[in-house]
Amino acid sequence: MQTLMRSILGGVALGALSLTSGLATMFAANVIGLTADPWLVVIGAVLFTSMVAAVSFMSMNRAMMRLRAELEDHGSTPSGQGPRWLRSVLRTMMEYQVRHRQAEAAWRTRQRELEINAKMAIGGQRQAEAVLGVMDEAVVVCNAFREITLVNAAAGAMLGCHPADAVGKPMAEVIDDSMVRRIMQETLEAGVGVDPRRCELTLHGARGESACEIVSACVPDDRGRTAAVVTVLHDLSREREISQLKSEFVSKASHELRTPLSSMQAYVELLVDGEANDEATRREFYEIIQAETERLSRLVDNMLNISRIEAGIIEIDRSEVDIRELVESAVRTMEPQARSRRIDLHTEIAPLGATVDGDADMLCQVVVNLLSNAVKYTPEGGRVTVSVDSDTLTRSVHVAVSDTGLGIAPADAEHVFEKFYRVENYKRVAKGTGLGLNLCRHIIETVHRGQIGLESTIGMGSRFWFTVPMAQTPAKLAA
Ligand code: ADP
C-alpha cells in the first residue's frame, strides 16, 4: 500500500515537474523574444521528462545491479544502499530465498533418509533371503491374495519348483501337493490370532515320497489383518532313517552279544551241574568259556571304538609311523595263528620309505584285522601276502592283504564294511563279530583320511587294500 502511494506521488511529482518545465521553457522563449508557441511547452516537457527518465533509469539500473550482486552473495543482508523502495523488494526476495533454501535443505535431508531406509530395507531383505536360502527347512510364503511371495531353495527342491519362477504366481499353480495347499488355505482362512497349524504328512514331491512335518502360520500387518501365510516344511526322512539305523544297531548288537553270552551260560551250567566228569572235559569247557569271553570283549571293544570314532571323541595318538615296521610287527603277531592252519604268511615290502602321520596302534589294528580275516577265511595250506608300497605321485602309502581263500561274491562285497555284516555261508567257517571291517573303514577313512577297499573273486581269494597319506617329511630310503 505504502509502495502504491509512493508510486502515485512520484507520478504526480513527475507530471508537475514536466508541466513546470514546459511553462518555464515557454516563459524563457517569451523573454528572449520567441513566440510563446504551445508546441514549445510540449517539447520542453518531453525533453525534461526524458532527462529525468534517463537519470532514474541509470540510478535504478545501478540499484538493480547491486541487488543482483547481493542476492548472488548467499546469506548477505540488504546493505542499505540504493533506493528505499528497492531495499524492501530486496528484503522480501531475500526472505523468500532463505525460506527456499531451508525447504531445499529439509527436502534433501528427507531424501537422504529415504535413501538410507531403502538401502536398509534392501539389505535386510537380502539378509533374510540369504538365511532362508541356506536353511534345510523348506519355507513358502504367500500373501492374502494366495500369491506366492517367497520360496526358498529347500522348498523349491522339495516341491519341485524353481524359486525365482514361483514368485508372483498363484499358490495353486506352484504347489502341486494338495495337502500342503489345503493347509496353507486353511491357515489363510483362519486368519491371525489362531495358533499355527502343525501336522505330519507324506509329501508326494519331486524327490518321491517323503515324510515331513508342516507348520503354517499367519503373519499380521500393522492393522492386525492377514499380510501373509508362512509355511515351513521339515523333512523327517533323515531323522526316521537315523532312528531306524539306531534300532537296527541295537537289535544286531543285542543279537551278537547274546550269542557268546548264551554259549558261556550253557557251559557254566554244565560245569555247575557236574556234567563234566573228567578233567579233560572240564578243561574243554573252560577253554570254550574263555574263547567266548574274549569274543564278547572284542565285540564290546569294537562297538565302543566305532561309536567313539563316529561321535568324534576317540583319542588319537598321532606320530610318524613307519608302515613297514608296523606291518612286520602285525605279521609276527599273526604268525602262530597262520602256522596252526598251515598257511604261508609272507610280506612284499617295497624298499622306499613309507612313513605316515597317524595312530600306530589303530593302524596296527587294521592290518591285524585284515590278516586275521585272511587267515580265517583261507583253507589250510593256503597263502596270505601282505604288501607295502608307496606312491610318490599321490604321496600315499598302499598296504594290501591278499589271500588264496574263499573269496567274496560281488553282492556280499558291497556290504562287508557295514556294521555286523557277515557272509551268511561263512558263519560256519569262522567265528566273528561282523564289526572288524567296519572299524577298519572308520580308522582309515575317518581318522586317517585314507581309502579302503576290496577286490575279490569267489573261490579264488580276496585282496583287501588301504591307502593313507604320506607324512609331510621326505620319505627315507630303506636301509
Ligand atoms: P568278522 O568278525 O565276522 O570277521 P569282519 O567285519 O572282519 O567281521 O568281516 C565281515 C565279513 O566279511 C566276515 O564275516 C566274512 O564273511 C567276510 N570276510 C572278511 N574278510 C574275508 C576274507 N579275507 N575272505 C572271505 N570273506 C571275508
Interatomic CA distance for residues 401 and 164, integer angstroms:
54
Is the domain of 231 the same as that of 299?
no
The domain that holds 458 is classified in CATH as 3.30.565.10
Is the domain of 164 the same as that of 262?
no
pTM listed for this prediction: 0.61
Residue 43 lies in a domain: yes
Residue 21 lies in a domain: yes
Is the domain of 68 the same as that of 174?
no
Q: Is 256 in the pocket of ligand 1 (CB under 6 A)?
A: no
Is the domain of 323 the same as that of 467?
yes
The domain that holds 266 is classified in CATH as 1.10.287.130
Is the domain of 289 the same as that of 346?
no
SS (H, E, C) the chain: CHHHHHHHHHHHHHHHHHHHHHHHHHHHHHHCCCCCCHHHHHHHHHHHHHHHHHHHHHHHHHHHHHHHHHHHCCCCCCCCCCCHHHHHHHHHHHHHHHHHHHHHHHHHHHHHHHHHHHHHHHHHHHHHHHHHHHCCCEEEEEECCCEEEEECHHHHHHHCCCHHHHCCCEHHHHCCCHHHHHHHHHHHHHCCCCCCEEEEEEEEECCEEEEEEEEEEEEECCCCCEEEEEEEEEECHHHHHHHHHHHHHHHHHHHHHHHHHHHHHHHHHHHHCCCCCCHHHHHHHHHHHHHHHHHHHHHHHHHHHHHHHHHCCCCCCEEEEEHHHHHHHHHHHHHHHHHHCCCEEEEEECCECCEEEEEHHHHHHHHHHHHHHHHHCCCCCCEEEEEEEEECCCCEEEEEEEECCCCCCHHHHCCCCCCCCCCHHHCCCCCCCCCHHHHHHHHHHHHCCCEEEEEEECCCEEEEEEEEEECCCCCCECC
Is the domain of 221 the same as that of 288?
no
CA of 381 to the centre of ligand 1 (A): 19
Q: Is 377 in the pocket of ligand 1 (CB under 6 A)?
A: yes
Residue 128 lies in a domain: no
**What's the confidence (pLDDT) of residue 476?**
47
Protein residue whose Cα sits closest to atom 7 of ligand 1: 436
> Considering 47, 72, 97, which residue would you say is the last residue of a domain?
72
Q: Is 436 in the pocket of ligand 1 (CB under 6 A)?
A: yes
Residue 89 lies in a domain: no
Interatomic CA distance for residues 197 and 187, integer angstroms:
7
| Per-residue pLDDT tens listing for the chain (479 residues) | 554 565 567 667 767 776 776 677 677 767 776 665 677 777 777 887 888 788 878 877 777 777 667 666 655 555 555 566 667 777 788 888 889 999 999 999 999 999 999 999 899 888 888 888 888 899 999 999 999 999 999 998 888 888 889 999 999 999 888 899 999 999 999 988 889 999 998 888 767 788 899 999 999 988 889 999 999 999 898 888 888 888 888 888 888 899 889 999 999 999 999 988 899 999 999 999 999 999 899 899 999 999 999 999 999 999 999 999 999 999 999 999 999 999 999 999 998 778 999 999 999 999 999 999 999 999 999 999 999 999 988 999 999 999 999 999 999 999 999 999 999 999 899 988 899 999 999 999 999 999 999 999 999 999 999 999 998 865 444 43
Atom of ligand 1 nearest to the CA of 417: 6
Residue 184 lies in a domain: yes
CA of 367 to the centre of ligand 1 (A): 14
Is the domain of 359 the same as that of 279?
no
Residue 92 lies in a domain: no
Give the pairing type, strands 461-469 and 451-457. Answer: antiparallel
Is the domain of 468 the same as that of 322?
yes
Q: pLDDT (tens digit, 9 = 90+) per residue, 201-228?
A: 888 876 778 889 999 999 998 888 999 9
Residue 12 lies in a domain: yes
Choose the residue to mutate in 295, 370, 384, 422 for probing ligand 1, maximizing ligand atoms within 8 Å of C-beta. 422
Residue 266 belongs to domain spanning: 243-309
Residue 239 CA, chain-centre distance (Å), reads: 21
CA of 138 to the centre of ligand 1 (A): 43
Instruction: Report the number of distinct structural domains present in the chain.
Output: 4
Choose the residue to mutate in 295, 298, 302, 373 for probing ligand 1, maximizing ligand atoms within 8 Å of C-beta. 373
Give the three cell numbers for residue 27: 516563459
CA of 431 to the centre of ligand 1 (A): 10
Residue 367 lies in a domain: yes
